[in-house]
Amino acid sequence: MTNPCRHHFQRVTAAVAAAAVAGPAMTMEGASIYELHLAKLQQDYLRLKQVQSTEGKAELKRQLLPEYIPYVEGALAEGKGAQDQVLTTLMVWRMDATDFTGALDIADYVIKHSLLMPDRFERTTGTIVAEEIAEAALKAQKAGGAFDLSLLLRTAQITAQEDMPDQARAKLHLAIGKALSAHVAEDATASAVAEPLEQAKTHLARAIELHTNCGGKKDLERVERLLKRFAAPGS
């Protein structure tokens, strides 16, 4: 991690550079602070290519990402939407490193300003964000773990207007539905679970509507069974 003085200098320099270039038709190329981080990104990318393990790559990214924090903070604070390959790449790296909050901070800016992904990424920005976070949640849920519902809801909000394959959006609705229903106990009171169960039903039904084989039918059946039970007299 950079020392506080260097951190502040890099943040301010990035902010000034980002504020000077406006609009998605423009690019940050030519700004010295941007070129410096773009070159560093290329060096780190070559280091990552030498690691074969997916887990190893993720761990290396966790080690590398703090060095970019001042640049990201400055660009997000004062940026006016110029094309920025450093930001878009770091957004993906943060997801790979399971820093989903940090990734969504960048995604909010990237999608708002319609920044393009580097050529090596075949999916659109919205698809990458929705699908990567949804798949991480579904993986955790399948293993019996939990995933922060607020992150999933924020992902849905940020990507709501983005065009993407139905299967990608279905994964996000499925993950949200599972998260909403995960902690509803069979013996819970109706007043405590009515709202989250109804929300879970909506998301699960939408996931199935978008992609019939998304894997949410059993979850939907459970939610509907619980809703009927809690609606019965004396429940």
| Parent domain of 31 | 1-122
Same domain, 8 and 114: yes
Q: Do residues 44 and 108 both lie within one domain? A: yes
- In tens, the pLDDT along 42-69 reads 999 999 999 999 999 999 999 999 999 9
CA distance 125 to 113: 11
Q: Could you give the residue ranges of the DSSP H alpha helices within the chain?
A: 4-19, 32-49, 54-64, 69-78, 85-96, 100-112, 125-142, 149-158, 166-181, 190-210, 217-231
Please check whether residues 191 and 143 belong to one and the same domain: yes
Q: Are residues 100 and 192 in the same domain?
A: no
**pLDDT value, residue 5:** 57
This prediction's pTM? 0.84
Residues 82 and 25 in one domain: yes
* pLDDT 10s digits, 8-44: 455 445 545 555 444 454 445 545 788 889 999 999 9
- Last residue in a domain, options 72, 89, 122: 122
Same domain, 118 and 134: no
DSSP per residue over 101-117, as a string? HHHHHHHHHHHHTTPPP
Are 184 and 95 members of one domain?
A: no
161 shares its domain with 232: yes
**Is 213 found in the same domain as 103?**
no
* Model pLDDT for residues 209-231, shown as the tens digit of each residue: 999 999 999 999 999 998 888 77
**Domain stop point among 122, 150, 183:** 122
Please say which residue of 98, 122, 146 terminates a domain.
Answer: 122
pLDDT tens across 115-162, in order? 999 888 889 999 999 999 999 999 999 999 999 999 999 999 999 999
